[in-house]
Amino acid sequence: MLIYVDGDACPVVNEVIETAAQFSLKVVIVKSYAHYSITAYPEHVKEVYLDRSREAVDYRILSLMDKGDIVVTQDYGLAALVLQKSGHAISPRGFQYNQDNIERLLASRHQSAQIRRQGGRTKGPKPFSNTDKTQLIMQFTKLIQSL
């Protein structure tokens, strides 16, 4: 089992790396060159950089992942595709995507996009907090243990 991180805007990369290390799991951080970092990660972490084209990171993660792998992403579309490939998807806030909730999330995203296209405004996510990080660590650990 591998852990993939949709790394372009992931606020919990370090927490994912530390938790994965406790279980001797490898982490692959996939991000665009626009988010290039000189951070030195531990040996169990690999970085994959891609061009800035739209959805490039999502497509690369999907091409690399196998059944049973875990993907950390806040992108509902990517999460839905991960689930279709029999993978596991979890948000940086610790919310686990599954077949029971992904359709509702995608419908909500679509509705919000329609409102914005018509000039309306929608609420964005609340600011990321330390509580969110703690929730991610707890739920991510539970997910790994359950597999």
How much is the pTM? 0.87
Indicate the class that CATH gives domain 2-146: alpha beta
In 23-129, where does DSSP find H-type helix?
56-64, 76-84, 102-117
How are strands ordered across the β-sheet holding 96-97? 45-50, 26-32, 2-6, 70-72, 88-90, 96-97
CB atoms near residue 97 (< 10 Å)? 22
pLDDT tens digits for range 114-137: 667 788 776 767 888 999 999 999
Domain spans, the chain: 2-146
Q: Label the pairing between strands 26-32 and 88-90.
A: unpaired
pLDDT tens digits for range 31-70: 998 888 888 999 999 999 998 887 899 999 999 999 999 9
